[in-house]
Structure 1
């Protein structure tokens, strides 16, 4: 049994992480739960609302993403960047529904200086003025742009690694793993929290999953938030044929992330709507303590707020409404 109070590490090896992923499930969940309780209130589950503020037409070729301009057969309506006033009205609605973090995503390859970025900065400031945490995902950043976001009050920047360095080229060809790491470094240098995780179910091996987690746990300090996404196979994308991830694969990822990154918020993200309340509770036992909350995740379906309310009421979890 691992010591739940042990010193945080940033020197995990891939072999160590893979060994955890392959533990007998009950042993793995038991260890993760002990560590979770040593560092967190087990009833505290953060709710984060996610909004697509600019949809479709992205020049990246990510194989899982319906917003890529490369995937012409995807049925998706492109939308320009939303007006800041409209975004803030939706943020108010999310807060009223119980969300404490408001996340905004724009389908850009990279941030470009100009009016659109200025509008995003206005959105960030407005969300913070509402008393909510603000998170954005905008693609790649330059150092001065990260600083501008920090000056606007940005809480966290979402920039997922997606998968392992070894499997990455099978999924994305338009930017490198190093590109992603550099953007994360710019955010950290600006004092912005990192929201950085990945996706399982894209055809990667267990070793690839361990390698991705090892990269995340190698950050010092660890990312403040790690979303664990289960692939949603979407018609028209290259991964439309992939079978959906089973609950025990998801639980193993959550539990291992909790063990190697004890203080991080581990977030159940895309694919959560495919699992029952009982299956999601197993993830909470394994150390998940954050969810994306709302009917839609950018362009993919999510568990409804009514379903989530019922689930939280049944388990008696604090959701800081």
Structure 2
């Protein structure tokens, strides 16, 4: 395996555009070569994402069916009981997942009893020996520290899109708010999970800009989810066309080349991809997927566990085993 001191943090837009626009087969070959130099090419991390609090969000993210202002069929669900969440985590572990992520449809974390319950969930999932991840919205430095002390391994906070296109998608917070949360997470010693969504109506230049922001961070995100827009009825983006699979492949390949040590996660949109199309994404450098017993990714359809395991078998891939000690938790 290569070392982090070989990583670059000074990519230009011109360099990234040249990579993205290479002839497709050359691009995939280049990305696959980088992948084999930095990662185990026959392993895919299986991650499970559970919505622990669904809907009713005050944000206006144009792609999201959980925004309270949009008329969708998504049922609002209060914060799940801790024991229910831990039962899901145990089942995920038994099914081959090595990371368990808990998502709450909040704009930001508030210091209240719900956050205290999230802390208990983090401690419980950590005790199971899983990498525990949360995505809860914006975080202060003190809140990030509390999560770290509880044993949180990773925090997901996607950029969503480029800084230039951001205001076209979201008006209830700023791009800089997302950067600030990522800085708070990093300062607390939690690993960063941050990527974005393509197919929002953005230009290729916006995809490049988003990847440049991620790859030029002082430390690359340890996890980079690449999502295809899941078109949710009732949201402003419901009538956008289905993303072309080659756009997904090109974005994944570019992310792999410029952030070779990161996990590149093939995330939302897999339900509309054939097994062959997903295989192209793995060849281009993706080495993680989200799966789950409910066959959903938060509130949108997603392949189920058995289907995914069969796909990995068909492709000669295997679930990644993550060897780690349970993080010690603070009693505070």
Normalised by the size of structure 1, how large is the TM-score?
0.97
| 1:56 positional shift | 0.4
| 1:217 positional shift | 0.3
Partner in structure 2 of residue 155 of structure 1: 153
Partner in structure 2 of residue 49 of structure 1: 48
Q: What does 1:203-242 correspond to in 2, within 5 Å?
A: 203-242=201-240
Partner in structure 1 of residue 35 of structure 2: 36
Q: What does 1:276-295 correspond to in 2, within 5 Å?
A: 276-294=274-292, 295=295
Q: Which runs of 5+ in 1 are unaligned?
A: none
Partner in structure 1 of residue 23 of structure 2: 24
Partner in structure 2 of residue 190 of structure 1: 188
RMSD: 1.4
The alignment partner of 1:229 has SS state of strand
- The answer to whether the aligner puts 1:119 opposite 2:117 as a matched pair is yes
Post-superposition CA distance 1:246-304 (Å, at most 9, x none): 11110000000000001000000000111111111111110000001121111011012
Query: How many residues get paired?
Result: 318
Post-superposition CA distance 1:191-225 (Å, at most 9, x none): 00000000000100000000000000011210000
Contact 1:5–1:35, Cα closer than 8 Å, also in 2? no
| 1:320 positional shift | 3.5
Q: What does 1:1-321 correspond to in 2, within 5 Å?
A: 7-71=6-70, 73-294=71-292, 295-320=295-320
| 1:107 positional shift | 0.3
- Alpha-carbon separation, structure 2, partners of 1:42 and 1:303: 22
Normalised by the size of structure 2, how large is the TM-score?
0.94
Contact 1:4–1:34, Cα closer than 8 Å, also in 2? no
Misfit runs of 4+, over 6 Å = 3-6
33 and 139 in structure 1: CA distance in 2 versus 1, 3 angstrom threshold = same
The alignment partner of 2:27 has SS state of helix
The alignment partner of 2:6 has SS state of coil
Q: Which runs of 5+ in 2 are unaligned?
A: 322-332
| 1:7 positional shift | 2.3
- Alpha-carbon separation, structure 2, partners of 1:70 and 1:16: 40
The alignment partner of 1:45 has SS state of strand
| 1:5 positional shift | 10
- Alpha-carbon separation, structure 2, partners of 1:101 and 1:6: 26
The alignment partner of 2:158 has SS state of coil
Contact 2:4–2:261, Cα closer than 8 Å, also in 1? no
